[in-house]
Structure 1
Amino acid sequence: MIRIAPAGRVLAVAAVASLALTACGGGSNTATQQTGSAAPSSAAAPAAKGDGVLTIGTLLPQTGSLAFLGPPEFAGVDLAVKEINEAGGVLGKPVVKYDTDSGDTTTNIASQSVDKLLTQKADAIIGAASSSVSESVIDKITGAGVIHFSPANTSDKFTTINDHGLYFRTSPPDKLQGRVLGDLIVADGSDTVGILAMQDSYGTGLADNVSKTVQDGGGQVVERVDYDPKAADFSADVAKLKAKNPKAIVLIGFEETAKVIQELVKQGLTSDTHKWYMVDGNTSNTNYLKMPKGTLKGVKGTIPGANAPDDFRKKLLAVNPKLEDFSYAPESYDAMNLIALATEAAKSDAGVDVAAKLSDVSKGGEKCKDFKSCDELLKAGKDIDYDGVSGPVEFNDAGDPAVATIGIYQYGPDNKYATKALEYRTGNIAG
C-alpha cells in the first residue's frame, strides 16, 4: 500500500495516470472597490472581452452548512486584493471585487449570486466552498466565459467536467485526505472502524477513500452509514454503529455533525471510549462550543492545506479580527493572487486569456511568493513560478494542484482544535 509521507517527504499518492478528486467542501452583497490550464472540455469557451479592469466576484458561504468557512475564505481574498492594489493594481488599475453568498444546496442562493456577478461583469468568480454548490453553477459561470476558481472544492467530478477550460482550484483532492485519514486511524491502533457520512458526492466519496485505505492497512470497516444530512434525528444511524462497537468512529459531514455528536454521546459512544475522527467539512472552532467541556477532547480532524505562517495569520486577523478558523484562507489568498498574476501575464482581463496563463504563472519559472515580487518579475520579462501560502500549487493539466498537503489537528477540552496542526502530510498528485 502506498503511504502518504509526513511533510518534507513527498510521495506519490497513487501510481495511476489520473487521480480522482472529491470535496469540502463575512462579506456582503454590495460592491466594494479596494485600492492601495484546466480540465479537458468538449467545447471552446465563449469569446469574452475584457474591459481593462480585473473584476472579481466571490461566491462564498455567508449562510448555510459551511458558513463557518466563509470568514477565513473572504479574509484570504480580501487580504490579497488589499496587497495587490497597494502594489499598483492589475493592468495599472485597482482590482474591483463584489462579494456574494453561496448558501448551500438547500437554497437557490448560489445561482442568484452568480447571475448578479455576471451582470457586474466579473472576470473570475472565486468559490464556492461546497463542491455540490459549485457543480450546480459551473455551467452558468464557465458558459459565460468567466473563470470559476474554487479554494475548497475537491470533488472528483471537476477533473473531467466540461468546463471550457475555465475551472481551477487550489484545494487538494479528498482522495489524498482519505488516504491520510485512513493511515492515521490505522496508525493510532484502531483495527475496527465505523463511518457516519453525509449522503452526497463529498461524504460518500471521502468515505470510500477512507474505507479503502483502512482496509488496505489491515483494518476493517465494520459499519458504514450514509445518512441524510437534513434528517431531524440520527438515533437509528448511530444505533447501527453502536451494534458493531468499532474502536474508531469517522464523522464525515457539515454542520449537522453537531447533532450526530449529541446522539453519539447519548448512546454512550463518547470520545473517551471511542476514537473520533473528523474532516474539513466539520472540523470547526465554532460549531461545538455550546457542548459540555471535554466532549471533543482528543478528537482528531484533517484539513487540507499547508501550515499558514504566523505573519500571514496576523495579516488575516488585521482584515477580520473575529476570525476563529483559518481553514482555506491560504487557498483563497493564493487563488486571488494567481488570477491577478495570470491577468498581468496575459495583458488582458478576459476570462479565456487569463485561464490560458494560470498554469504558466504557477510553475516552471523563477520562484516568487507574493503578488508584488512576482509582478515585478513579469514586468521585467521573466517567467514566474508563484509558490503560495497554501503550497507550491503548480496546476496540472486538469487545473488541479499537482502537490497537496493535509494537516492533522486535535481538539482540546474546550471543544476547539489547536490551529497549529499536530503534523502535515504532503503527497504528489498524479494528473
Structure 2
Amino acid sequence: MSITTKASAFRSRGLKSTLGIAFIATGALVLAGCAPAAEPEAEPTAIADYTLTLGTLLPQTGNLAFLGPPEEAGVGFAVSEVNAAAESTGLTIEVEYGDSGNTDNKAYETEAPRILAFDPTAIIGAASSGTSLQFIDQVTGAGVIQFSPANTSDAFTTYDDNGLYFRTAPSDVLQGEVLGNLIAEDGHQTLGMIVLNDSYGTGLAKYVTEAFEAAGGEVVAAPTYNTGDTVFDTQISEVLAADPDAIALITFEEVKTILPSLFGQFPSENLYFVDGNLSNFGDQFPAGSLTGAKGTLPGLTIDSIGEFTAALDAWVAEDGGEPLTEYSYAAESYDAVILLALASLAAGGATEGVDVAAKLQEVSGGSGDGEKCTTYAECADIILSGGVADYDGISGPITFDEVGDPTEASIGIYVYGEDNTYGAI
C-alpha cells in the first residue's frame, strides 16, 4: 500500500489507510486560457563541456549503516546516467564519497571538511536528521548545497540554511500521520513507543501521538534512549508494564538489540516499525519472529518501482559492487543527483551552489510552469531546447516548495512475513 499526499493540511484530518492512493490537495489552481499558436520546437544545444563536483556524506558506519549501500548506489547509478549523456548535454559529474557516521562516532567531524575540500557544488547526505544538523551550518555556510535523500525531521522546514538545503524525503509530519492512523485503524486503543532521543525520533513520535490520539487512542508509555546506548532493559520494561495494545519502535539499528527482549512477551503482529529501522532481517532472528508486524517508509512502495531496482541491481553488478539487500532511499538518492544535474543545466552550466540551488525548485516543478518529464535525458532536452523542465522522479513528483521540502510524497505501508522480510500491503 502507498498513501500519497500533497504535503500540507494533513495535520487537520486523518488519512485513511485504504488500498490505493489517497490525494490531498494543497489548493493548487490551474488556469486555462487562450494560447498563441505554438512556435516550432528548438533543437537541443549542448552547453560547453563542464564538470559538476558532488560529494556524499551518507552512513557507511553508525546506526544507519544499513541505509548506506542503497543510497550510495542510487547516487552512483544516477551519475552514470548523467555521464552517459555528456556528449549531448556537455555535463559530466564527479563524485567523492564520504561517511557521515552518526552522532556517536562523529565521522562527519573529519569527513565533512575532507569533502568540502573538493569544492563541491552539493553534498548529498546525511541520512539521519540528527547527523545532518551537526554539519548543515558548515556546508551551507560554505555556499554548498546540502541535499538529503532521507532527512525527515520537521526541524529543516524552518532552518536558516541560506536557501541551500533540500531533501527528497518528506517531513515526518506525514509519516507520523500515516503511522498513527494505521495503528488506530488496526483496532488498537493503547500504544507504547520506544523512541530515539534526537530530532528524528522525538519529532516522529510527536506526530504519531497526535494522529493516534486524534483517532481516540492513548499513548501509555514513550521512553527514550540516546544514540550510542546499547542496553534498553529500562525502556522495554516501562513499555511492557504499561500493557499497550501496540508498540511502535521509533529507532534506528538499535532495534536489533531491542527486539529479542520483546519476542515471546509481545505479539509480533502488534509491532510497528518506521523508516529508520524497517529492514529485511531474514535469518538474523528465528523464522516467524516478526510475522504480521507492520512498518512505514516514505516513498513509493519498493514493489511499485521494480523496474528501477532491477536496473539498479544490474548497474551495481556491472560496477563490481556487493548485491543490495535493502532499497530504502535508493530512489530518493538517485533523484537528488538528477535534480542537481538538471538545475545546473537550467542555470546555464552553473557549478556554484547558490546558482544551482536557485533552479532546483523550478526543475522539480515547484514553479508550476514546466513541461513534465521523467528521465534525465528527456528533461535535459527540454532545458537545452530553451524550455522549462518539471522532473517527476522515481521516488515521486517531488515538487519543491520555497524552503526545499517536497510538496508531494508517498508513504509505503509494509508487513513482515514468516521469513522476517517485508513486502507492501
Please classify the TM superposition score into its range, dividing by the shorter chain length.
Answer: 0.7 to 0.9
* Match among 279, 282, 285 for residue 284 of structure 1: 279
Note closer, same or farther for the CA distance 1:414–1:89 as it changes in structure 2 (3 Å cut): farther
Structure 1 match to 2:220: 222
Secondary structure at the aligned position of 1:254 is classed as coil
Matched, 1:312 2:308: yes
Matched, 1:57 2:55: yes
Distance 2:235 2:345 in 1: 52
Distance 1:132 1:89 in 2: 40
Distance 1:157 1:250 in 2: 22
Q: Which moved more, 1:234-243 or 1:171-180?
A: 234-243
Q: CA deviation at 1:264?
A: 1.4
Matched, 1:333 2:346: no
Note closer, same or farther for the CA distance 1:319–1:82 as it changes in structure 2 (3 Å cut): same
Distance 1:280 1:231 in 2: 20
- The equivalences for 1:12-161 within 5 A come to 52-88=50-86, 92-161=90-159
Matched, 1:360 2:362: yes
Which amino acid in the other structure matches residue 247 of structure 2? I
Distance 1:78 1:2 in 2: 39
Q: What percentage of residue pairs aligned between the two structures are identical?
A: 48
8 Å CA contact retained: 2:103, 2:227: no
Structure 2 match to 1:236: 234
Structure 1 match to 2:15: 4
8 Å CA contact retained: 1:90, 1:340: no
Q: Which moved more, 1:336-345 or 1:83-92?
A: 83-92
Note closer, same or farther for the CA distance 1:315–1:54 as it changes in structure 2 (3 Å cut): same
Distance 1:258 1:95 in 2: 37
* Match among 393, 400, 403 for residue 405 of structure 2: 400
Structure 2 match to 1:251: 249
Structure 2 match to 1:300: 294
- The equivalences for 1:256-275 within 5 A come to 256-265=254-263, 268-271=265-268, 275=270
* Match among 380, 387, 396 for residue 382 of structure 1: 387
Which amino acid in the other structure matches residue 284 of structure 1? S
Q: CA deviation at 1:190?
A: 0.5
- The equivalences for 1:154-233 within 5 A come to 154-233=152-231
Distance 2:299 2:108 in 1: 25
Note closer, same or farther for the CA distance 1:89–1:212 as it changes in structure 2 (3 Å cut): farther
CA root-mean-square deviation: 1.8
Distance 1:397 1:334 in 2: 18
Secondary structure at the aligned position of 1:58 is classed as strand
8 Å CA contact retained: 1:90, 1:344: no
Distance 1:371 1:239 in 2: 51
**Cα shift readout 1:350-383 (whole Å, capped 9, x = no counterpart):** 1110000001111121000111010001111111
Q: CA deviation at 1:175?
A: 1.0
Secondary structure at the aligned position of 1:3 is classed as coil
Note closer, same or farther for the CA distance 1:232–1:210 as it changes in structure 2 (3 Å cut): same
Distance 1:232 1:106 in 2: 12
Which amino acid in the other structure matches residue 73 of structure 1? E
List runs of 5+ in structure 2 lacking aligned partners. Answer: 1-11, 28-48, 318-322
Q: TM-score, normalised by structure 1?
A: 0.85
Distance 1:12 1:65 in 2: 36
Q: CA deviation at 1:289?
A: 3.1
Distance 1:290 1:392 in 2: 36
Which amino acid in the other structure matches residue 81 of structure 2? E
Structure 1 match to 2:414: 409
Q: TM-score, normalised by structure 2?
A: 0.86
Distance 1:172 1:145 in 2: 24
Distance 1:60 1:289 in 2: 26
Runs of 4+ in 1 over 6 A off after TM superposition: none
Q: How many residues align?
A: 380
Secondary structure at the aligned position of 2:413 is classed as strand
Q: CA deviation at 1:270?
A: 3.5
Secondary structure at the aligned position of 1:309 is classed as helix
**Cα shift readout 1:311-366 (whole Å, capped 9, x = no counterpart):** 11111101235111111011101100000000000011111100000011111210
Distance 1:90 1:231 in 2: 51
Structure 2 match to 1:28: none
Q: CA deviation at 1:265?
A: 2.1
Note closer, same or farther for the CA distance 1:382–1:297 as it changes in structure 2 (3 Å cut): same
8 Å CA contact retained: 1:76, 1:333: yes
